[in-house]
Amino acid sequence: PMAAPAAGPPPVLRIVAECGRSRARAGELRLPHGTVPCPVFMPVGTRGTAKGLTAAQLAALGCRICLGNTFHLGTRPGPELVRRSGGLHGFMDWPHNLLTDSGGFQMVSLLELSEVSEEGVLFQPPHGGDPVLLSPERAMEIQNALGADIVMQLDDVVSSTTTGPRLEEAMLRSVRWLDRCVAAHARPQQQRLFAIVQGGTEPELRLRCLRAMTQRAVSGFAIGGLSGGEAKARFWRAVKLCTEHLPRDKPRYLMGVGYATDLVVCVALGCDMFDCVFPTRTARFGSALVPWGSLQLKNQKFAKDFRPIDADCGCPTCQRHSRAYLHALLRCNTAALHLLTLHNVAYQMKLMGSIRDSILRQRFPEFVREFMAAMYGGRGGPPAWAREALESVGITLG
Amino acid sequence: MATAGGARPPAPGDDGRRGAARVARVPRLLRVPVRRRGARMRLKLLGAGRLGSLAGLGRGGAGALALPGCLLYTRAGAAPHLTHDTLREVRGVPGVAHVALPALAEIHDVLEEYKEGAAKFMGMPDAVLYCSLHDPVTPCPSGYNTNKELQGSVMFGAIEGGDILEERLRSARETAKRPVGGFLLDGFQGSAMAKETKLKLIASVTAELPEDKPRIIHGVGKPDEVLECIERGVDIFESFFPFQVTERGCALVFSYDCHPAPEATVLPQNGIQDLEKNGAQEDQEEVSKADPEMTPFEISLKDKKYHDDFGPLLEGCSCYCCQRHTRAYVHHLLVTNELLAGVLLMMHNFQHYFGFFSAVRDALRDSKLDQLKELIFRQALQGPASTALRH
């Protein structure tokens, strides 16, 4: 009998349990730098550092995959230098997994400085120098040099509130760019390529994009173009439409989602992977995340509050320090920012761990109810969009 | 408060009791919490110079500080940039932490309500704390007024007198008569005094002090100045200097190894490598352009030349940063304004500085202080490239 043709890289996702009511799944991502339990939240380390945390601290919190950004690293220090440092893993001394995004999102956030054409995105680097063309081929080249375990296609990103012909153009171009990325990807065995589904919040466009992209041989699918300023009612429906049409056996990565409520709801809708700057960024503003919201520790009311941020949190910050001390330290020592970053990452890890655990034990709907009660109990109940989204997958809140 | 900042000469007509008055009004000058019964601070000298230790520190009396040594510089009780777990990765952290009074004064009412002491509030319940009147990095705090005495603390007497020998001697003699736990050589911070005057005064002052009590000096941090003070009878220093180095994006790379391995003399060294890259003259100019505060004991990682330098901050250094990261990485972090730069540099700079003090103690023990002095002073003049010794 003939040998089978060379297979693509092995499948990333192994599903271990599925919620009997909603679309939530619990499983593992099998990646070159180890296994990652999912659903998973990935902290963002934009420029090759998880902000003020050392790689050792981040790993000690249980993080097994985090993000680097191609646009920023591609300009400074540049892919060649990172390659010579042993790739992004070597550069950061990060022994676990990495995911790099393609730089596409910066098109939206640095809009005045960029120009999109079929060729690619022409950037004016914010720190001076000649305009730089980020094409699908160049995005793959940079990501191949950075060496992350998961790499993202270059997509034509528009803001999530865009409507009209530009939205359709961007969606169709993203499909063409996906094909160019697949063709240009020089290291398919070491690095898993994910597609990014676009189409804004227009169901018809999303559907066309889904149908086209799911025909391509990629290792996973991201849901992009959301989590901007769009209405939450449109947001969740777009997410749900995607999970409906994405293959069961490949991971679904919802980009830019990181608020606790959004994570819980979108797991219910069938997403496996998330990233967001929110937890780490808000820490640097003195804000600590807790199951009932957040504490703005710069606020004078915490000056004499001798309790830890969260008595039930096992993170190093909560084990040792009080809100009052953090309040005082915030005034004069960056160590305070790192302590809060530690706590917020720990909070996210714990949340995802609890979510996953509840799915494994077939009590995810109960978990969702408990979560919502803790978060919104005193405040008149969860937001309407969350309620509707959960109900649409069979989870009713009290 | 009479001991604020630089010392003033006494007013005319002063009858010499100023020293006594100062001591009585200086209860806040060393906070080494000591249980009232039992444990007592004591200085043990081992005979080689003032090599020894300060034992019996802290609540249980188990804390100790090797001498000559330095304190751990903190800002509001935490090492700058470092959480407890990152500080734990630094080797040789001294057993006494230094907190500046302004930080505590700011939270005075909070501490009153907390009732369980500053050390516990700051997350180090078992630490031994030294509280100085000023933060050595920001020496002119806004005014505050507190008359509270801290119970159960050991007091150090401040020796004042400006740059006038007579006044210094008087202050030293008067303070030496008091039942203080140790002595603070105050008013030697900054560059107001000529160096020779400063050194002469320090030597004269310590000559008046009992051998069996520790002497601490504020505001002295550079390795060459530390050695000069140690030779003149000073035991304890602050560690704000590695923090200042960190804040300007620099790494300490001076050698304090008096016992290089024989083969090391033929191997290229950190400084020499750098010079070969750029030419010695350019290097010195770039270095001085970088930051006027920069000393010959450090390199400036912001410099473009480190952009693709894949060596550690300092060859042979065993700190967290040098074991895992490169100059290129730290350069990148600095250039992109990443917070991690401060974390990694602080870890390296503290460990290197504490290692220097350990080397001083070893040199005293092995009667090699002169070699160490020669090594340090050579680098003070010419920078780390001047050494042919591998660190």
Q: Going residue by residue through chain A (398 aa), what tens digit of pLDDT does each one get?
A: 555 445 678 899 999 999 999 999 999 999 999 999 999 999 998 666 678 999 999 999 999 999 988 777 777 888 899 999 999 999 999 999 999 998 777 655 665 667 889 999 987 776 677 888 889 999 999 999 999 999 999 999 888 888 899 999 999 999 999 999 999 999 999 999 999 999 999 999 999 999 999 999 999 999 999 988 899 999 999 999 999 999 999 999 999 999 999 999 999 999 999 999 999 999 999 999 999 999 999 999 999 999 999 999 999 999 999 999 999 999 999 999 999 999 999 999 999 999 999 999 999 999 999 999 999 987 788 999 999 999 999 999 97
CA distances from A94 to A41, A102, B324 (A): 17, 20, 10
C-alpha to C-alpha distance for A210 and A196, rounded to whole angstroms:
9
A129, part of any domain: yes
Is A372 within the bounds of a domain? no
State whether A94 and A214 are in the same domain: yes
Is any Cβ of chain B less than 8 angstroms from the Cβ of A52?
A: yes
CB pairs under 8 A between A and B: 119
Establish whether A101 is a catalytic residue.
yes
Instruction: Evaluate if residue B6 carries a pLDDT over 60.
Output: no
Q: How far is A90 from chain B (nearest CA, A)?
A: 8
Q: Is A109 on the interface with B (CB under 8 A)?
A: no
Torsion of the alpha carbons at B169, B175, B180 and B184, rounded to the nearest 10 = -50
- Catalytic, A275? Answer yes
Q: Do A57 and B333 touch (CB under 8 A)?
A: no
pLDDT in tens, B55-79: 999 877 888 999 999 999 999 999 9
Whether B167 is in a domain gets the answer yes
CA closest to A88 among chain B residues: B329
Q: Are residues A240 and A301 in the same domain?
A: no
CA-CA-CA-CA torsion sign (B306, B310, B316, B318): positive
Q: Nearest by CB to A335, which of B78, B89, B338?
A: B78
Q: Collect all residues of chain A within an 8 Å Cβ-Cβ radius of residue B75.
A: 332-333, 335
Residue B10 — very low, low, confident or very high, per pLDDT cuts 50/70/90? very low
**A328/B106 Cβ within 8 A:** yes
Q: Does residue B21 register a pLDDT over 60?
A: no
Residue in B with minimal Cα distance to A284: B339
| Contact by Cβ (8 Å): B183, B213 | yes
Q: Which of A242, A241, A188, A243 is nearest to A219 (CA)?
A: A188
Q: Is the confidence metric ipTM above 0.85 for this complex?
A: yes
Same domain, A161 and A82: yes
B123–chain A Cβ distance below 8 A for any pair = yes
As a whole number of angstroms, the distance between CA B96 and CA B381 comes to 32
Is residue A180 a part of any domain in this protein? yes
Buried b (16+ CB within 10 A) or exposed e, B353-381: bbbbbebbbbbbeeebbeebbebbebbbe
Show the tokens assigned to B344.
């990694």
pLDDT for res A122: 87
List beta partners, residue A337. none
Instruction: Kindly state the tokens that stand for A170.
Output: 């961007």
CB contact under 8 Å between A81 and B77, yes or no, is: no
Residue A393: inside a domain, yes or no? Answer: no
CB contact under 8 A, B339 and A52: yes
Q: Say whether A338 and B326 touch across the interface (CB within 8 A).
A: no
Query: Do the annotations mark residue A343 as ligand-binding?
Result: yes
Looking at the structure, do residues A271 and A314 belong to the same domain, yes or no? no
DSSP B222-245: SHHHHHHHHHTT--EE--HHHHHH
In chain A, residues 328-357 whose CB comes closer than 8 Å to chain B: 328-329, 331-339, 342
- Say whether A52 and B113 touch across the interface (CB within 8 A): no
Residue in chain A lying closest to B102 (CA): A332
Query: How many Å apart are CA A238 and CA B75, to the nearest integer?
Result: 49
How many CB atoms are closer than 10 A to CB A216? 15
Structure tokens at B58: 């802290």
Q: Is the pLDDT of residue B268 over 50?
A: no
Which of B214, B220, B243, B235 has the alpha carbon at shortest distance from B90?
Answer: B243
Cβ-Cβ contacts under 8 Å for A70 (sequence gap 6 or more): A100, A101, A102, A103, A139, A142, A143, A146
What is the pLDDT of chain B when averaged over all its residues?
A: 81
Q: Which amino acid is at A59?
A: A
Residue B8 maps to a domain: no
Show the 3-state SS of chain A.
CCCCCCCCCCCCEEEEEECCCCCCEEEEEEECCEEEEECEEEEECCCCCCCCCCHHHHHHCCCCEEEEEHHHHHHCCCHHHHHHCCHHHHHHCCCCEEEEECCCHHHHHCHHHEEECCCCEEECCCCCCCCEEECHHHHHHHHHHHCCCEEECCCCCCCCCCCCHHHHHHHHHHHHHHHHHHHHCCCCCCCEEEEEECCCCCHHHHHHHHHHHCCCCCCEEEECCCCCCCCHHHHHHHHHHHHHHCCCCCCEEECCCCCHHHHHHHHHCCCCEEEECHHHHHHCCCEEEECCEEEECCCHHHCCCCCCCCCCCCCHHHHHCCHHHHHHHCCCCCHHHHHHHHHHHHHHHHHHHHHHHHHHCCCHHHHHHHHHHHHHHHHCCCCHHHHHHHHHCCCCCC
Active-site position among A262, A272, A275, A310? A275
Is B121 within the bounds of a domain? yes
Question: Which residue from A52, A77, A329 is facing B340, i.e. has the nearest CB?
Answer: A52
A294 is in an annotated binding site: no
Name the CA radius of gyration of chain A, rounded. 21
Q: Please give the order of strands across the beta sheet that includes A150-152.
A: A40-43, A273-276, A252-254, A220-223, A192-197, A150-152, A97-101, A65-69
User: What SS3 state is found at B76?
Assistant: coil
3-state secondary structure of B68: coil
Contact of A86 with chain B, judged by CB distance below 8 Å, is answered with: no
Which domain CATH number covers A93?
3.20.20.105
> Which residues in chain A are closer than 8 Å to B114, comparing Cβ atoms?
304, 306, 324
Q: Is A381 annotated as a binding residue?
A: no
Alpha-carbon span B63 to B26, nearest angstrom: 24
B327/B314 Cα distance (integer angstroms): 9
Q: Would an 8 Å CB–CB cutoff place B126 in contact with chain A?
A: no
Whether B125 contacts chain A with CB within 8 A = no
Q: A62: annotated binding-site residue?
A: no
Contact A332 B103 (CB under 8 A): yes
Contact A25, A65 (CB under 8 A): no
Say if residue B5's pLDDT is above 50: no
Q: What pLDDT, on a 0 to 100 scale, did the predictor assign at position B261?
A: 60
CA angle at A313 for the pair A310 and A317, rounded to the nearest 5°:
80
Q: Does B138 touch chain A (CB under 8 A)?
A: no
Q: Which two three-digit tokens encode residue A58? A: 């981040």
Tokens of A38: 């999912």
Measured CA to CA, the distance from residue A386 to residue A382 in angstroms comes to 7
Does B88 lie at the interface with A, CB-CB under 8 angstroms? no
Contact A334 B339 (CB under 8 A): yes
Residues A248 and A334 in one domain: no
Least confident of A257-271, B151-165, B233-247: B151-165
Same domain, A73 and A17: yes
Residue A216 structural domain: 13-275
Instruction: Say if A2 falls within a structural domain.
Output: no
Residue B26 lies in a domain: no
What is the model's pTM? 0.88
Looking at the 3D structure of chain A, how many domains does it have? 2
Residue A382 in any domain: the answer is no
> What is the spatial distance between Cα B300 and Cα B37, in angstroms, rounded to a whole number?
50
Structural domains counted in chain B: 1
Distance from CA of B76 to the nearest CA of A (A): 6
A81, A173 in Cβ contact below 8 A? no
Residue B142: what pLDDT? 43
Q: In terms of domains, do A338 and A210 share one?
A: no
Residue B146 lies in a domain: no
Is 50 exceeded by the pLDDT of residue B147? no
* Same domain (yes/no): A160, A242: yes
Query: Which pLDDT belongs to residue A9?
Result: 81
Is the same domain home to A61 and A210? Answer: yes
Co-location of A265 and A295 in the same domain: no
Q: How near does any CA of chain B get to the CA of A48, in Å?
A: 8
3-state SS class at B252: strand
Mutate to test the interface with B, among A58, A280, A332, A344 (most CBs of B within 10 A): A332
Let me know whether A347 and A324 are in one domain: yes
Percent of chain B scored above 90 by pLDDT? 60
* A160 annotated ligand binder: no
**Chain-chain contact of A56 with B307 (C-beta, under 8 angstroms):** no
A199: annotated binding-site residue? no
Closest by Cβ to A333, choosing from B76, B109, B308 = B76
Q: What is the pLDDT of residue B141?
A: 45
Check CB contact under 8 Å for B86 and A332.
no
CB contacts, 8 Å: A307 with chain B: none
Q: Is A142 on the interface with B (CB under 8 A)?
A: no
Helical pair B340-365 and B240-247, crossing angle rounded to 10 deg: 140
| B78 Cβ under 8 Å from any chain A Cβ | yes
Return the pLDDT at B192.
Answer: 80
**Residue B131 annotated as binding?**
no
- Give the total residue count for chain A: 398
B44's enclosing H/E stretch is strand B42-45
Beta bridge partners of A253: A222, A273
User: Tell me: the pLDDT tens digits for B185-231?
Assistant: 988 887 788 899 999 999 999 999 999 999 999 999 999 999 999 99
What is the Cα–Cα distance from B327 to B302, expressed in whole angstroms? 10
Q: What is the mean pLDDT of residues B230-239?
A: 97
B317 in a labelled binding site: yes
**Residue B193: its pLDDT value, please?**
86
Dihedral sign computed on CA atoms, order B342, B346, B352, B353: positive
> Inter-chain contact B325–A47, Cβ cutoff 8 Å?
no
CB contact under 8 A, B324 and A93: yes
Record the tokens describing residue B376, joined without a space.
């340090």
CB B216 within 8 A of CB B184: yes
- Which member of A85, A331, A338 has the closest CB to residue B326? A85
Q: Does A127 touch chain B (CB under 8 A)?
A: no
Residues of B in contact with A56 (CB under 8 A): 89, 320
pLDDT value of position A31: 98
Asked if residue B128 is part of any domain, the answer here is yes
Chain B nearest-CA residue for A318: B123
Minimum-distance CB partner of A304 among B79, B110, B324: B110
Question: Which of A252, A275, A298 is where one domain is finished?
Answer: A275
pLDDT one-digit tens code per residue, B249-261: 999 999 999 776 6
Domain CATH for B69: 3.20.20.105
Q: Kindly give the residue spans of alpha helices, DSSP state H, lying in chain B.
A: 18-24, 84-87, 101-106, 108-114, 118-121, 165-177, 195-207, 223-231, 240-247, 270-278, 280-290, 320-324, 327-335, 340-365, 369-382
- A-chain CB neighbours of B98 within 8 Å are none
A241 within some domain = yes
Residue B119: which domain range? 40-137+155-252+297-390
Q: Give B-chain residues touching A51 at CB under 8 angstroms.
A: 338-340
Tell me if B167 sits within 8 A of B10, measured CB to CB: yes
* Length of chain B measured in residues: 391
Q: Which among B178, B217, B227, B159 has a CA at the least distance from the CA of B7? A: B159
Which of A275, A306, A336 finishes a domain?
A275
